[in-house]
Amino acid sequence: MIIGFRLNGQEVTARVDHPASLLDVLRDQLGAYGSKNACEQGECGSCSVLLDGELVCSCLVLAADAEGSEVTTVEGVAPEGELHPVQEAMNRVGAVQCGFCTPGFVVAAVDLFERNPHPTSREIKEALAGNICRCTGYGAIIRAFEELAGREVR
């Protein structure tokens, strides 16, 4: 079957002949490689996207269930050539090691700051609990978002 949805503001279509995930369709058919494929069971958060404005793991969304929805991936969090404040904050602090988990953290943090512009350290940690950094580079990631939240950075 052919499905259609809005990806980062653009109408897109894809063909799904088997129960593919939204992540599969993003990467294999639509060239949106920002969302990463790692655990395929919703544990790692590296495939995080916003589906109709809600943060979800795209590996757990049946692609056909995105029909008619609005999907925002890391490619769509800021206009072309610009960075989202969340990305700038990570840049400033150097909150990137190998980079594999970074897109997922960016999308999760964009969601957090949209709902809560001044999260506490605890709120930041809880909001990012579904994102795993295998380099264990959490210190800098948390500091970046504490700084963005206007918190005193330890």
Partner 1 sequence: MEVIHPRNLEEALAAVADGMTPLAGGTDLMVEVNYGQKRPERVVALRRLADIADFSPTRIGAGVRWRRIEKEGPRALAQAARTVGSPQIRNAGTIGGNVATASPAGDGLPFLAAVDASIELTSGSGSRLLRWDEYFVGVKQTARRSDELVTAIVLADDLPERQEFAKVGVRNAMVISTVCCVVTRREDGATTVALGSVAPTPMRARRAEEMISSERSPSEATLAEFARLVSEEVAPITDHRSTEEYRRHAAGVLARRLLERCLRREAA
Q: How far is CA 2 from the centre of its chain?
A: 25
For position 127 contacting partner 1 by CB under 8 A, the verdict is yes
Stretch that binds partner 1, among 55-63, 77-85, 94-102, 144-152 (CB under 8 A): 55-63
Minimum CB–partner distance for residue 80 and partner 1 (Å) = 26
For position 129 contacting partner 1 by CB under 8 A, the verdict is yes
Which position among 61, 74, 90, 124 is part of the footprint of partner 1 (CB under 8 A)? 61
Minimum CB–partner distance for residue 151 and partner 1 (Å) = 20
Q: How far is CA 111 from CA 3, 19, 51, 61, in A?
A: 26, 27, 11, 18
- DSSP readout, the chain? -EEEEEETTEEEEEE-SS--BHHHHHHHTS---SS--S-SSSSS-TTEEEETTEEEEGGGSBGGGGTT-EEE-GGGSS-TT---HHHHHHHHHT--SS-SSHHHHHHHHHHHHHH-SS--HHHHHHHTTT---TT--HHHHHHHHHHHTTPPP-
For position 111 contacting partner 1 by CB under 8 A, the verdict is yes
Which position among 60, 98, 135, 153 is part of the footprint of partner 1 (CB under 8 A)? 60
24-43 footprint of partner 1 as x/- string (CB under 8 A): ----------------xxxx
Judged by CB, which is closer to partner 1: 19, or 139? 19
Q: Among residue numbers 4 through 23, which ones bind partner 1 (CB under 8 A)?
A: 16-19, 21
Query: Which residue do the tokens 């990467």 mark?
Result: 27
Return residues touching partner 1 (CB under 8 A): 1, 16-19, 21, 40-43, 45, 48, 54-57, 59-62, 64-65, 67-68, 108, 111, 126-127, 129-131
